[in-house]
Chains A and B, each alone.
Chain A
Amino acid sequence: MSNVGKRPLDGLRVLDFSHVLAGPFATRVLGDMGADIVKVNSAGRADGANAPLHPYYLMWNRNKRALALDLSREESRVLCRQLCETADVVIDNFSVGVLDRWGVGYDDVSGTNPGVIYVQMSGMGDGGPWSKYVTYAPTIHALAGLTHLTGVPGREDIGIGFSYNDHQAGLHGAVAILAALASRHSTGRGQRVDVSQFEVGVNFAGPALLDLFANGHAARPTGNKLPYDDVVPHNVYRCAPVDVSAIIDERWVAIACMDDAQWQALKGVMGQPEWAENADFDLVEGRVAAMDVIDAQVSQWTQTRDAYEVMTICQDAGVPAGVVQNGRDLAERDPQLALSGMLQKLDDVSPTLGQTWVDRLPIHFDQTPCNDYQRVRDLGEDNAAVLKDWLGMDAADVARAEDDGLLR
C-alpha cells in the first residue's frame, strides 16, 4: 500500500470538544497531519474566543470540520454518544466531569468503544485539592514557577510574554494521543489520558527542580544569562537606531559565544578591539569574571550597527547571533519562512469569516507532506457531511435534525 499523496494520520477520527488554545492546538496539529477532526461547538457556546469569527478561534481551528450540537437537548446527546462510539479519539478541556454529565464520559464511551483514546486536558488534572481551579496560561505560568524564573534578578512580575504553556499543553496532548494510538496498535485497547496543564508547566522547570531537590539550591531569574553554565557573552544587545521614541522601534540582537573559539571569532568580527585583547578573556572563566564589562563593550559595538548586519557578520564568522524579530519581521523580512511557505494566505475566503491566514505545520514529511490547509469553518458548516460520514445519516435525517434545532 503506497502512502504517497496521503498524510500521516489519514483515516484517524477525532471528536474535539476542546476550546480556547491548548486543546484546539493539539487537534490543530493532528488535523494538519490528516486526521479528520470534528470540532463540536454550539450557538450557546460560540462566544468570545470560541466564536468562529474571533481571531483567536481562526488561529487554532483550521483543518477541522465544524459540527454544531445543542447538548442541552437529550436528542443531541444521543447523536453525540453515537459519534463517540465511532471516534478513535475524544478530547476535551472542560473542567473534569462536564462530559460525564452529558453521558459521554470515559466510562460511558469506553463501554461501547473500547479502542477509544479519551483525553482530558484540564488545568489541574483529575484529582487533588486544586482540581476545580480555573486556569489560563498566565495562571499556569505563575503557579508553575515560570513567571518567577523568567525575568531579571529582583523582579517577579515579568514572565513569558505569550501563552507558552497553552501551546506546549497542546503539543503534549498530541504526543499523548499518538503514544496511546501506538499502544492501541499493540494491544487493541484504548485508554484514558489525564493531561494536567499545570503539570505540563512544572515539567519545564525540571532541571531547576532537580537542583533544588538534590542540592537545596533554589533558582532565581537570571535575565539572559544561562542559569547554570558559564557562557559569556550570552545576552541580547541593543542595535541602531538607539534614539527611538517608541519601544516597538528598538532593534536588538542576541549574541552567544558558546565556547572560547567563538569568542575569538567575535573578537575578529569586532575588529580586535583593545579592550578584548585582555588575555584573561581567552578562557570563559575570565570572561565570567568580567561579564558586565564585556556586555557593556559588546553593546557599545552593536548599538551603532543594524541588527541584521550584526547577525550576518557574526554568523559568517561562526558566532551564534540572531535578530530579535517581531511579528512584522517574521512575516515581511524572514527569508527562511518565505522560502518554506510557512505563512500562507488562504485562497478559500469564507463569506462569513473573511480572509484568513495560516502558519503551516513545522514538520516536513517527505512521503506524506502536510500541505493541505483548509480554512476555519463556521458554526455547523459541516453538519451534513460529518453526520453522513461518521453516522451514515442521509440528507433528509440531517435536515430533520436541523429543523428540530438539534444541530445548532
Chain B
Amino acid sequence: MTETAGALADVRILDLTDERGIYGAKLMADLGADVVRPEPPQGDPLRSRGPHFEAAGAGCTSLWYAYFASNRRFFYLDLQAPQAAEQLAGLVAHADIVLTCDRGFGLELLDLKAAQEQRGELVIINTSSFGQTGPWRDYLAPDIVAGALGGAAATTGDVDTPPLKGFGELNFMVSGAYVAIAALGALFSARATGKGQRADVSVHECLVSCLEQVLMLYWYADRLMREDNVLPRRGSTHWSDAYSVMTGINGSIMITPTPDFDNQLAWLIEEGVHEDLIDPKYMEPENLRLRIDRTMEILRNWVAGKDVEALFHEAQSRHCPYGWVLPIERVADNPQLDARAWYTPYNIGEAQTKATGAPYHFSATPWALADHHGPDADTAAILADIGWSDEQ
C-alpha cells in the first residue's frame, strides 16, 4: 500500500450487484478498493440507464453508469461459455468481499456457500428487496415501489400532488450505503477473528430505518403533544412545523426560526415586522405551537419582499440556518464547492467532463476517480490476476 493509496487499497471486491446495491460498491471502489464487475457479452443492462453522453463513445455513454459504476474494473463474462463457472469461481477466490443481489448476474453459476467453506474469511453481502423470507420476499421493487412500501413516498408531495418519489435513485442510495457498512463491518470482524460471514441487507428495512419523524411520531406522539401519530404529506413543511420553503422576489428559500427563536425575533424587531410576536403569551410553554405558527406566518409575508440570495447570506451571518433553494446549475457553480475544489475531472470513454467529488475527505488516504471504461476493458488483466491461462 503506497502513501497515496485509498483507504481500502488492500481490499478486493467482486461486484455482482444491481441497482439495489451498486451504490455500496461505488462507495468502496471510490475509497480505493479493487472492485471487479463482471458483465455479459452484450454489456451490463445498467449501461442503458440515462442520461447519456454520446461523445464518450460506444459502450460508455451512460452517465448513470459512469456515476454508479465508477472506479470499477470490468470483466467480460459469457455465462453460456464453458469456462464461465470456473472464471467466476476464480474471481470469488480472489476476493475479500463478494457483493450480490437476489436474482443478480452470474449467481446461477456460483456456489457461494462452498466458497465460504473453503475460505472461512470470505465476506458475502447479499441485498434483497424484502429479505429472504415472508410473503413479499419475491415482490419486485424498483426505486419508486421500494420508496412507497418503505414509507418515504407518504412523507413527500403536497395536498395537490400524489405522494412523490425522491429525484433519481435516493432509495437505493440508502440501501447501497448500508451494503458498504455491512461489508466493511464484516471485514473488520473477519480481520479480528479470521472468520468471515454472510450478511443479508433488505432494501425495505433500510428505508424504514431512515424515515426521521415517521416512526418517532408513531411511537411518541403523546410526548410530542400530537393529536395523531401519522402526518400527511404537506409540501416542504417539516414535521415540527418550523421549517418551510417560502417564496421571495427572485426564488425560493427554506426558512426556519430554529434553533434560536429569540435570535429570529430580534431580527424581525430590528426590521419592524415582528407584529405581535412580543406578546408574552408566546413565551408560555403550552403556546409553543402557536408561537411557531405565528412566526412562520409573519416570516412568509416578510420573505415575500426579499431577494433570496441576499436573505440567505444575511441569515447565515446571523447564525440562522436558512437554505437557498438552488437549481442544479447553481449547485454546479457554487462558491463553497469551488473553494474546496470539490468537482473532479472525469474521463469517460473517449471524452472528458466533471463529476461530483468525495462525500468525505481523508487526511491520509485520498479519494480518487479513475477513468471510466467500456465493457471488457480489464478482462485480460483480471484473468492474469486470478492466474487464468488460455489452456484452461
> Cα distance A147–B238 when bound, in Å?
12
Closest residue on chain B to residue A355 by CB atoms: B219
> Is A8 part of the contact surface with B, judged by Cβ < 8 Å?
yes
Minimum distance in angstroms from B46 CB to a CB of chain A: 11
Minimum distance in angstroms from A198 CB to a CB of chain B: 7
A363–B323 touching, CB < 8 Å: no
Question: What are 23 inter-chain pairs, A to B, with CB distance below 8 A?
Answer: A3-B197, A8-B188, A59-B216, A125-B361, A142-B254, A145-B328, A147-B254, A149-B167, A159-B245, A183-B7, A185-B188, A196-B340, A202-B331, A206-B67, A208-B328, A210-B355, A224-B164, A229-B49, A252-B162, A325-B151, A326-B154, A336-B134, A367-B198
| Residues 170-207 (chain B) with a chain A CB within 8 angstroms | 170, 173-174, 177-178, 180-182, 184-189, 191-202, 204-206
A3–B195 touching, CB < 8 Å: yes
> Is B140 part of the contact surface with A, judged by Cβ < 8 Å?
yes
Given contacts A215-B53, A218-B327, 12 further A-B contacts (CB under 8 A): A140-B323, A146-B167, A161-B156, A182-B188, A185-B191, A210-B51, A236-B144, A248-B230, A256-B142, A324-B163, A336-B137, A342-B208
A134–B316 touching, CB < 8 Å: yes
| Residues 134-152 (chain B) with a chain A CB within 8 angstroms | 134-142, 144-152
B156–A210 touching, CB < 8 Å: no
B328–A209 touching, CB < 8 Å: yes
Which residue among B50, B68, B154, B182 has the maximum number of chain A CB atoms within 10 Å of its CB? B154
B151–A326 touching, CB < 8 Å: yes
> Is B92 part of the contact surface with A, judged by Cβ < 8 Å?
no
Given contacts A191-B363, A205-B331, A365-B199, A256 and B145 within 8 Å (CB-CB): yes
Minimum distance in angstroms from A167 CB to a CB of chain B: 4
Interface hit among A173-181, A285-293, A391-399: A173-181
> Is B109 part of the contact surface with A, judged by Cβ < 8 Å?
no
For residue B55, which residues in chain A have a CB less than 8 angstroms away from its CB? 214
> Is A67 part of the contact surface with B, judged by Cβ < 8 Å?
no
For residue B184, which residues in chain A have a CB less than 8 angstroms away from its CB? 175, 178-179, 181-182
A236–B162 touching, CB < 8 Å: yes
Given contacts A228-B64, A335-B135, A130 and B336 within 8 Å (CB-CB): yes
Select which of A33, A254, A359 is within 8 A of B144 by beta carbon.
A254
> Cα distance A373–B365 when bound, in Å?
34
Minimum distance in angstroms from B223 CB to a CB of chain A: 5
> Is A98 part of the contact surface with B, judged by Cβ < 8 Å?
no
> Cα distance A33–B150 when bound, in Å?
23
Select which of A207, A210, A361, A364 is within 8 A of B209 by beta carbon.
A361
| Residues 148-164 (chain A) with a chain B CB within 8 angstroms | 148-152, 156-164
Given contacts A138-B243, A176-B362, A252-B162, A357 and B329 within 8 Å (CB-CB): no
Select which of A55, A140, A156, A168 is within 8 A of B252 by beta carbon.
A156
| Residues 237-252 (chain B) with a chain A CB within 8 angstroms | 238-239, 243, 245-247, 251-252
Given contacts A144-B331, A202-B337, A210 and B216 within 8 Å (CB-CB): no
Select which of B152, B194, B323 is within 8 A of A162 by beta carbon.
B152
Given contacts A160-B170, A362-B201, A145 and B331 within 8 Å (CB-CB): yes
> Is B89 part of the contact surface with A, judged by Cβ < 8 Å?
no
Given contacts A138-B256, A204-B170, A214 and B63 within 8 Å (CB-CB): yes
Given contacts A8-B185, A55-B220, A138-B243, A152 and B161 within 8 Å (CB-CB): yes
Minimum distance in angstroms from A119 CB to a CB of chain B: 8
> Is B268 part of the contact surface with A, judged by Cβ < 8 Å?
no
Mark interface residues in A235-268 (1 if CB within 8 Å of B CB, else 0).
1111000000011100011111010000000000
For residue B142, which residues in chain A have a CB less than 8 angstroms away from its CB? 256, 258, 320
> Cα distance A356–B220 when bound, in Å?
9
For residue B169, which residues in chain A have a CB less than 8 angstroms away from its CB? 207
Given contacts A182-B188, A327-B217, A172 and B336 within 8 Å (CB-CB): no
> Is A406 part of the contact surface with B, judged by Cβ < 8 Å?
no
For residue B214, which residues in chain A have a CB less than 8 angstroms away from its CB? 162, 326-327, 330
> Is B379 part of the contact surface with A, judged by Cβ < 8 Å?
no
Which residue among A8, A319, A364 has the maximum number of chain B CB atoms within 10 Å of its CB? A8
For residue B9, which residues in chain A have a CB less than 8 angstroms away from its CB? 183, 186
For residue B177, which residues in chain A have a CB less than 8 angstroms away from its CB? 168, 171-172, 175
Closest residue on chain A to residue B157 by CB atoms: A158
List the 7 shortest-distance A-B pairs measured between CB atoms, nearest first.
A228-B50, A161-B155, A142-B323, A362-B205, A178-B184, A139-B323, A55-B220
| Residues 90-138 (chain A) with a chain B CB within 8 angstroms | 106, 124-125, 127-138
> Is A380 part of the contact surface with B, judged by Cβ < 8 Å?
no
Which residue among A136, A207, A248, A255 has the maximum number of chain B CB atoms within 10 Å of its CB? A207
Chain A: residues with Cβ within 8 Å of the partner, total of 158
Closest residue on chain A to residue B331 by CB atoms: A145
> Is A404 part of the contact surface with B, judged by Cβ < 8 Å?
no
> Is B320 part of the contact surface with A, judged by Cβ < 8 Å?
yes
For residue B332, which residues in chain A have a CB less than 8 angstroms away from its CB? 209, 212-213
Minimum distance in angstroms from A232 CB to a CB of chain B: 12
A168–B173 touching, CB < 8 Å: yes
Minimum distance in angstroms from B127 CB to a CB of chain A: 10
For residue B137, which residues in chain A have a CB less than 8 angstroms away from its CB? 336
B168–A205 touching, CB < 8 Å: yes
Minimum distance in angstroms from B261 CB to a CB of chain A: 11
> Is A278 part of the contact surface with B, judged by Cβ < 8 Å?
no
Minimum distance in angstroms from B18 CB to a CB of chain A: 12
For residue B243, which residues in chain A have a CB less than 8 angstroms away from its CB? 136, 138
Minimum distance in angstroms from B372 CB to a CB of chain A: 10
Given contacts A210-B63, A234-B144, A248-B228, A366 and B197 within 8 Å (CB-CB): yes
Which residue among B178, B219, B259, B320 has the maximum number of chain A CB atoms within 10 Å of its CB? B219
Which residue among A48, A320, A335 has the maximum number of chain B CB atoms within 10 Å of its CB? A320
> Cα distance A53–B146 when bound, in Å?
33
> Is A15 part of the contact surface with B, judged by Cβ < 8 Å?
no
For residue B158, which residues in chain A have a CB less than 8 angstroms away from its CB? 158
> Cα distance A221–B164 when bound, in Å?
11
For residue A12, which residues in chain B have a CB less than 8 angstroms away from its CB? 188
Select which of B56, B67, B149 is within 8 A of A207 by beta carbon.
B67
> Cα distance A403–B360 when bound, in Å?
41
Select which of B151, B186, B208, B353 is within 8 A of A210 by beta carbon.
B353
For residue A331, which residues in chain B have a CB less than 8 angstroms away from its CB? 215, 218
B321–A139 touching, CB < 8 Å: yes
For residue B204, which residues in chain A have a CB less than 8 angstroms away from its CB? 336-337
> Cα distance A120–B52 when bound, in Å?
36
Minimum distance in angstroms from B225 CB to a CB of chain A: 11
> Cα distance A335–B137 when bound, in Å?
10
Select which of A129, A336, A361 is within 8 A of B130 by beta carbon.
A336
A160–B174 touching, CB < 8 Å: no
Given contacts A146-B167, A186-B1, A224-B165, A156 and B331 within 8 Å (CB-CB): no
> Is B85 part of the contact surface with A, judged by Cβ < 8 Å?
no
